[in-house]
Amino acid sequence: LGVDCARYGADEFSIAARVGPEIKPLRTWRKTSGVDMVGRIIETVAMYCEDEAHQKDVLIVIDEAGLGGAGVVDPLIQSHGYRNVHGVSNSMSPRDDKKYDKWDDECWLEHIPNFLQYAKLPDDDILLHQLTTRKYEFTGKLAQQRRLETKKQLRARGLGSPDRAESVMMATPGIKLATGV
C-alpha cells in the first residue's frame, strides 16, 4: 500500500493498493482523524490480502510528513502488529543526489515514469490529472539536479495537492529501492 495522509484540511487521505503491476481503485477520504486512517489502512489490507496469516507482512509505505502520517505509523506497528510499515518524508535525501534534490523528486521523476510504462491504473480522472500536471525545474546546484514544483507553487497555478498521485508513488515497486526497504 501507498498511503498519503491528510487530516482535517482540504487535502485527501489516499490509499493506493498495488497488486503486481495493477493499482486497484484508490480509496480516498477528506477530514479524517488519525484513528480513522489507521482503521482504513487495516480495512484496505484485509480487502486485498485475504490470507490473514500474511496481512501483517504487507508492505505499507506512509508519507509521515507534517502531522498526518506520524500518528499512523506507530499504531500500525505497536498496537496492531504490522511488521512491514515504513514512514517516509518527501524531504528525505535521494539515492542519486546528482540528479535529484529530494527523495520525492527522485520518486516522481524516475520511479513513477518507470512504473507507468507497464502499470495498470484505475479509471480515475483526478489521478490522471495529478500525474500529468506537476512541473519540475533544474536546481542550479548541480548540472542535472532537478526538483518538483512545491505544493505552494501548485496552489499558485490553481492546482490542489497531488494526494492520489503521491499514494500511487508510494505504492510503486521502485519505492523499495528509494527507501532502502
45-103 pLDDT, tens digit per residue, is 999 999 999 999 999 999 987 655 668 999 999 999 999 999 998 888 898 999 999 99
Whole-model pTM?
0.92
Contact 66, 73 (CB under 8 A): no
The pLDDT tens digits for 21-45 are: 999 999 999 999 989 999 999 999 9
- How high is the pLDDT of residue 89? 87
Identity at 169, one-letter amino acid code: M
Cell of 119: 502499470
Specify the higher pLDDT residue, 143 or 176: 143
Strand, coil or helix: 41: helix
Strands (E) in the chain, as ranges, are 2-4, 12-16, 18-19, 22-23, 27-30, 60-63, 85-88, 136-138, 146-148
Name the residue with cell 526497504.
181
